[in-house]
Amino acid sequence: MCGIALIVSGIRIDTSCLPFDSTSSTRKTEKLLFSLDDLKSALRRRGPDSVCAKKLLLQSEENLISSFTDNGVSSSERDNADGIHTAKLHFFGATLQLRGINPLIQPLVDASGNVLVYNGEIFGGFDLESDCNDTEFLMRTLGECCSCASCSAGHCVECGKSSVLGVLSAIKGPWAIIYWQDSSRTLWFGRDGFGRRSLLVHWPTEDDPTFLLSSVSPVSPVQFAPGKNMCSLYGAAWMTRASSFNIVDTGSKQIGNASKDKTMFSQDEDKIIWKNCHSASCQEVPRDSHPFYSFFVFTVLCSEDETPNGIGCFSYWEELPCGIYSLHVDVSKPSGYLVAEVKMHGYANSMLTELIKWDRISVEPSSEDLKTCCHKFSRGQRAIHLASSESVPNETGSVQSAIPVSAQSLLEALKESVLRRTSLYTVYQHGAVSMTKHCVRDLSAKFIEGVDSKEEEMAVTSGIRQEEFVPVAILFSGGLDSMILAALLDKCLDPNYEIDLLNVSFDGHLAPDRQSAKAGLNELRRVAPSRKWRLVEIDADLSDLVFETSHVVSLINPANTYMVDLSNLMSNQLQLHLLRGDMHIIKDLNIGIALWLASGGNGWVSDANMSDNDNNHVRIKYESNAKILLVGSGADEQCAGYGRHRTSYRRGSWLGLHEEMRLDMQRIWRRNLGRDDRCIADNGKEARFPFLDEDVIRLLLDMPLWEVANLDQPIGIGDKKILREVAKLLGLYEAAVLPKRAIQFGSRIARESNRKNFGSNRAANQASAGSVRINRKSSFC
Q: What pLDDT digit, counting tens, does each position of 255-264 carry?
A: 233 333 333 3
pTM confidence score? 0.78
pLDDT-derived band at 718 (thresholds 50, 70, 90) equals: very high
Looking at residues 438-452, what average pLDDT do you find? 31
Does 95 lie in the same domain as 207? yes
Return the pLDDT at 288.
39
Helix, strand, coil percentages for the chain (3-state, nearest 5): 35, 20, 40
User: What residues contact 30, with CB distance under 8 A and at least 6 apart?
Assistant: 207, 208, 223, 225, 314, 316
Instruction: Say which DSSP state 622 is in.
Output: E
Backbone angles phi, psi at 710, to 5 degrees: -140, 95
Looking at residues 712-741, what average pLDDT do you find? 94
Looking at residues 288-306, what average pLDDT do you find? 32
Q: Is residue 15 part of a domain?
A: yes
Question: How far is CA 660 from each of CA 644, 657, 663, 704, rounded to the nearest angstrom?
Answer: 8, 5, 5, 16
Could you give the residue ranges of the DSSP H alpha helices within 500-582? 512-527, 546-556, 572-576
Does 179 lie in the same domain as 275? no
Return the pLDDT at 608.
61
Could you give the residue ranges of the DSSP H alpha helices within 567-616? 572-576, 583-600
Q: How far apart are CA 401 and CA 403, in angstroms?
A: 6
Does 241 lie in the same domain as 109? no
Which segment of 251-260, 500-509, 529-538 scores lowest on mean pLDDT?
Answer: 251-260
Which segment of 439-443, 509-513, 659-663 scores lowest on mean pLDDT?
Answer: 439-443
Return the pLDDT at 62.
59
pLDDT-derived band at 220 (thresholds 50, 70, 90) equals: low
Which segment of 26-35, 89-98, 467-476, 712-721 scores lowest on mean pLDDT?
Answer: 26-35
Does 245 lie in the same domain as 333? no
The answer to whether the beta carbons of residues 227 and 219 sit under 8 Å apart is no
Looking at residues 163-179, what average pLDDT do you find? 96
Ranges assigned E (strand) in 96-174: 108-109, 115-120
pLDDT-derived band at 159 (thresholds 50, 70, 90) equals: confident
Q: Is residue 48 part of a domain?
A: yes
User: What residues contact 663, with CB distance under 8 A and at least 6 apart?
Assistant: 781
The answer to whether the beta carbons of residues 712 and 654 sit under 8 Å apart is no
Degrees to nearest 5, angle at CA 422 with 676 and 529: 105
Does 338 lie in the same domain as 212? yes
Residue 142 has pLDDT above 70, yes or no: yes
Return the pLDDT at 205.
85
Return the pLDDT at 502.
98
Q: Is residue 420 part of a domain?
A: no
Does 337 lie in the same domain as 283? no
- pLDDT (tens digit per residue) in 579-623: 444 556 677 788 888 999 999 999 999 876 555 555 557 889 999
- pLDDT (tens digit per residue) in 356-374: 999 999 999 988 887 766 4
Residue 376 has pLDDT above 60, yes or no: no
Residue 719 has pLDDT above 70, yes or no: yes
Looking at residues 411-419, what average pLDDT do you find? 98
Q: Show the domain range for 181.
A: 2-123+130-143+172-219+318-342
Does 104 lie in the same domain as 60? yes
Q: Which of 288, 310, 332 is where one domain is finished?
A: 310
Residue 290 has pLDDT above 50, yes or no: no
Q: How far apart are CA 499 and CA 490, in angstroms?
A: 8
Q: Is residue 329 part of a domain?
A: yes
Mean per-residue pLDDT of the chain: 74
Our measurement of the distance from residue 778's CA atom to the centroid of its chain's CA atoms, rounded to an integer in Å, reads 20
β-pairing, 108-109 with 282-286? Answer: unpaired
- pLDDT (tens digit per residue) in 542-559: 777 777 888 888 899 886
Return the pLDDT at 1.
72
Return the pLDDT at 524.
98
Does 301 lie in the same domain as 267? yes
Return the pLDDT at 455.
34
Return the pLDDT at 173.
96
pLDDT-derived band at 150 (thresholds 50, 70, 90) equals: low
Return the pLDDT at 507.
85
Which segment of 54-63, 111-120, 249-258, 619-628 scores lowest on mean pLDDT?
Answer: 249-258
Return the pLDDT at 575.
41
Return the pLDDT at 488.
98
* 145-154, 218-227, 626-635: which is most confident: 626-635
- pLDDT (tens digit per residue) in 262-271: 333 333 333 3
Return the pLDDT at 748.
61
pLDDT-derived band at 42 (thresholds 50, 70, 90) equals: very high
CATH number of the domain within which 117 lies: 3.60.20.10
Does 119 lie in the same domain as 236? no
The answer to whether the beta carbons of residues 684 and 45 sit under 8 Å apart is yes
Residue 517 has pLDDT above 90, yes or no: yes
Our measurement of the distance from residue 178's CA atom to the centroid of its chain's CA atoms, rounded to an integer in Å, reads 18
Q: Between these two residues, 288 and 40, which has the higher pLDDT value?
A: 40
Q: Between these two residues, 221 and 343, which has the higher pLDDT value?
A: 343
Return the pLDDT at 71.
47
Q: Is residue 701 part of a domain?
A: no
Number of domains in the chain: 2
Burial class of residue 107 (count of CB atoms within 10 Å of its CB; 0-12, 13-18, 19+) = buried
The answer to whether the beta carbons of residues 169 and 352 sit under 8 Å apart is yes
Residue 406 has pLDDT above 70, yes or no: yes
Return the pLDDT at 616.
58
Does 295 lie in the same domain as 186? no
pLDDT-derived band at 48 (thresholds 50, 70, 90) equals: very high
Q: How far apart are CA 185 and CA 748, in angstroms?
A: 52
Q: How far apart are CA 309 and CA 7, in angstroms?
A: 35
125 sits in the region (left: phi over 0; alpha: psi -120 to 50; else beta) called left
Q: How far apart are CA 374 and CA 366, in angstroms?
A: 10
Residue 694 has pLDDT above 90, yes or no: yes
Q: Which residues pair with 88 in a beta bridge?
A: 9, 57
Return the pLDDT at 264.
35
Which segment of 16-25, 119-128, 234-243, 627-636 scores lowest on mean pLDDT?
Answer: 234-243
Q: Percent of the chain, pLDDT > 70?
A: 63
Q: Is residue 36 part of a domain?
A: yes
Q: Which residues pair with 605 in a beta bridge?
A: 620
Q: Is residue 334 part of a domain?
A: yes
Q: Is residue 519 part of a domain?
A: no
Which segment of 22-36, 179-193, 430-444, 666-680 scores lowest on mean pLDDT?
Answer: 430-444
Does 269 lie in the same domain as 138? no
Return the pLDDT at 32.
56
Q: How far apart are CA 688 and CA 197, in angstroms?
A: 10
Does 103 lie in the same domain as 186? yes
User: What residues contact 611, with CB distance under 8 A and at least 6 apart?
Assistant: none
- pLDDT (tens digit per residue) in 659-689: 999 999 999 999 999 999 999 999 999 999 9
Residue 77 has pLDDT above 90, yes or no: no
